[in-house]
Amino acid sequence: MSGWLSWPLLGLLAWIALSIPVTLYLGLVLRASSRVENAPRVAAPSQAVAPAPIFAGSPSSRRARSLDQPRILIVDDEAGLRMLLRTTLTADEFEVAEAEDAQRASDLARFWRPRVVVLDVAMPGIDGLAFCSELKQKPAFHSPSVVLLTGTDLREEDAVRAGADALLRKPFSPLELVGVIDRLTGTEAADVKTDLAAGPNEQLLLYARDLGRLLEIERMQRRVVQDAYRDTVTALANALEAKDTGTGMHSLRVRDYAVQLTAAVEPALLGDPSLEYGFLLHDVGKIGMPNEVLAKPGPLSADEYALMQQHTRIGVEILRDVTFLRGEGLNVIRSHHERWDGTGYPEHLSEHTIPLSARIFAVADAVDAMTGDRPYRDPATWEAASREVAVQSGSQFDPEVVEAFLRENLALRRIYDVTGKAA
């Protein structure tokens, strides 16, 4: 690629490469804001270089985060609570194992070496306090962090004496537990209130409430990522159009035409989020075309035309691994130059073998090409372009799409009046 636009385009692509991880990082920040830690700090037992224990309601210390998944061992004689804890922690990307009593947990802790043990206090056989002391004192266990769970009036002093790093009282919020574990494993978390009136099934109510909160956060993250993709795609499309035609309005205008026409032909297609991105990036493969071919002020030679036809394949190669383009978006990029009569490119598809989204977009793209400025000809009027679309029904275009275009002509003309004449 040559010309003065090469450097701006390379800079834009570098910005795009940086924008995606930044967006994902913002999503992680939103996720962290839902996590909790709620407990007064209690003085640690006198040990060299030992971190202060974390109790429900206190701020905590931070440790260096391991690059691998932290291993969490759940020890509780209640199968239902173990299942809830496992579901919570595996969803948060921890590696989880469980045991129903201290004896089984002892074997696991010795050989599996968990980083954190979530331990119920009231268990048959060896209770949680005694097992916590063993975990902390015996070298074979490698002194994991211990979070004690209790439904009794256990004193924090007793938990400290046993070596516990945190104490949570039942019922506890699952996000509260995740927040405590994050701190013990070195991940920062923010405070979230977990007040809930006492009553039956408090633990299940807390889980149900926090599930709703997590779903809300997930939807927020998805919107952040989608908005970033849309802004990035629009910027790239505008830069490509400036390289090709000297205006950045074509991709936005033809997107609007295609959305209006899709709603008239097959509204269900609009449910595919990749479709709009395909409309915007339909000519992304032209990034691989020489400037002298794109800006040539006359008809292309046979060799130049053959080269230009490769832009659909190049576009698919560039974008095939982009998640937000998989689906109808890639169909548009690949097949928007196919013709109803089979004489198009790149695969010479015909009639209904051409994806419907590409057949719809072919009409929108052709109308904008005819009514837009080009180096080699003056723009046609809207009426002349509409007549040409009707003439090409059954040869270049799908007759059903042409019928929809003629039905929606006034609505499409309004889009042209707002954006086309100003371009």
Q: Is the pLDDT of residue 144 over 70?
A: yes
Domain boundaries in the chain? 35-191, 218-420
Q: Is the pLDDT of residue 395 over 70?
A: yes
User: For the chain, what is the mean pLDDT?
Assistant: 77
Place of tokens 């926090």: 210
3-state secondary structure the chain: CCCCCHHHHHHHHHHHHHHHHHHHHHHHHHHHCCCCCCCCCCCCCCCCCCCCCEECCCCCCCCCCCCCCCEEEEECCCHHHHHHHHHHHHHCCCEEEEECCHHHHHHHHHHHCCCEEEEECCCCCCCHHHHHHHHHHCHHHCCCEEEEEECCCCCHHHHHHHCCCEEEECCCCHHHHHHHHHHHCCCCCCCCCCCCCCCCCHHHHHHHHHHHHHHHHHHHHHHHHHHHHHHHHHHHHHHHHHHHCCCCHHHHHHHHHHHHHHHHHCHHHHHCCHHHHHHHCCCHHHHHCCHHHHCCCCCCCHHHHHHHCCHHHHHHHHHCCCHHHCCHHHHHHHHCCCCCCCCCCCCCCCHHHCCHHHHHHHHHHHHHHHHCCECCECCCCHHHHHHHHHHCECCCECHHHHHHHHHCHHHHHHHHHHHHCCC
Phi-psi region of 83 (alpha: psi -120 to 50; beta: other; left: phi over 0): alpha
pLDDT at 417: 86
Who has greater pLDDT, 315 or 419?
315
Q: Which of 15-29, 72-86, 318-332, 352-366 has the lowest mean pLDDT?
A: 15-29
Q: pLDDT digit string (tens) for 80-114? A: 888 878 877 776 668 899 999 999 999 889 999 99
Q: Is the pLDDT of residue 37 over 50?
A: no
Q: Is the pLDDT of residue 60 over 80?
A: no
* pLDDT confidence tier of residue 153, bands split at 50, 70 and 90: confident
Who has greater pLDDT, 208 or 277?
277
pLDDT at 232: 66
Q: Which of 48-57, 168-177, 385-394 has the lowest mean pLDDT?
A: 48-57
pLDDT at 75: 94
Which pair of structure tokens corresponds to residue 372? 């837009």
Identical fold, 35-191 and 218-420: no
Name the percent of the chain lying above pLDDT 90.
35
Residues annotated as part of the active site: 286
Give the highest mean pLDDT range of 26-35, 140-149, 205-214, 376-385.
Answer: 140-149
Distance, in Å, from the CA atom of 53 to the CA atom of 105, rounded to the nearest integer, reads 22
Who has greater pLDDT, 228 or 137?
137
CATH of domain 35-191: 3.40.50.2300
Q: Which of 64-68, 270-274, 312-316 has the lowest mean pLDDT?
A: 64-68
pLDDT at 82: 86
Q: Is the pLDDT of residue 7 over 80?
A: no
Distance, in Å, from the CA atom of 230 to the CA atom of 314, rounded to the nearest integer, reads 21
* pLDDT confidence tier of residue 373, bands split at 50, 70 and 90: confident
Which of 275, 343, 351, 338 is closest to 312 using CA atoms?
Answer: 338
Name the percent of the chain lying above pLDDT 70.
67
pLDDT at 333: 93
Q: pLDDT digit string (tens) for 401-412? A: 999 999 999 999
Q: Is the pLDDT of residue 252 over 50?
A: yes
Can you tell me the mean pLDDT for 346-361? 96
Can you tell me the mean pLDDT for 154-168? 90
Q: Which of 30-39, 323-332, 370-379 has the lowest mean pLDDT?
A: 30-39
CATH of domain 218-420: 1.10.3210.10
* pLDDT confidence tier of residue 287, bands split at 50, 70 and 90: confident
